Amino acid sequence: MSDKKSPSRILIVDDHQLVREGLTLRISLEPDLCVCGEAASQDEALAQLDLAQPDLIIVDLSLKGGDGLGLIKQIKARNPQAKMLVVTGFQESLYGERVLRAGALGFLNKQESTQHLIDAIRTVLTGRRYVSKQLEDRLIEKAISGEGVGGQSPMERLTDRELEVFRLIGEGRTSGAIANQLFLSPHTVDTHRENIKRKLGLANAGELSQAAVQWVLEGG
């Protein structure tokens, strides 16, 4: 009887088909890894979890009908042992700590090489964290100094939900569209908008929209 270990099973959650296909192709070159499923949205991902039984889930932060941070939190609530790696185009400086707090073990920007992707996958599969040296140093410095809210930038003071609303405003979504996508009431979205304006020092809706669009154009 062969004692060869079965390849680790990976579920890819990304709303771009070309990205899913590219990740699948690269991962398929590794004999110890295989893709067991794909999903483009939160709902598809949650449905695939029980069906595919992945050892690791690759999650983008921008998804159809929701956001990756929310999905990570849902998966972690359902399965505290789940191993997740975020692979996204968003900035690690703003999202890196957030994904770790949400329950993911790693963060990789899509601009990194495919070998870094494989290294990140194998690291997270062992249960260890995979982040850049810059983020690792920052986390250590914050732990040593006890840095709190007072040491954060205005953008860092936004909650995960406020940051998601800010991003959607920058993508040109109306409050009604944001409410529908995030399953919130229009009143709740308006409350988030007011909180964002206050935290970022913006005077009105026009300044909020301008700042959000500029932020998205600069890469979020």
124 in Cβ contact with 107 (< 8 Å): no
Which pLDDT score, from 0 to 100, does residue 195 have?
A: 95
pLDDT at 148: 56
pLDDT at 2: 46
CA 62/CA 64 separation, integer angstroms: 7
Question: Rounded to an integer, what is the distance from CA 187 to the centroid of its chain?
Answer: 26
Please tell me the class of the 150-217 domain: mainly alpha
Fold category of 8-142 in CATH: Rossmann fold (3.40.50)
For the chain (length 220 residues), average pLDDT per consecutive 10? 77 96 96 96 91 95 84 94 95 90 95 94 97 87 67 82 92 91 90 94 93 84
| Strands (DSSP E) found in the chain | 8-13, 33-39, 56-59, 62-63, 66-67, 84-88, 106-109
Residue linked to tokens 């062969």? 2
The ranges of the chain annotated as CATH 3.40.50.2300 are 8-142
Q: Which residues pair with 41 in a beta bridge?
A: 64
pTM (2 decimals)? 0.82
What pLDDT sits at residue 200? 93
Structure tokens at 149: 């809210």
CA distance 124 to 116: 12
pLDDT at residue 208 in the model:
94
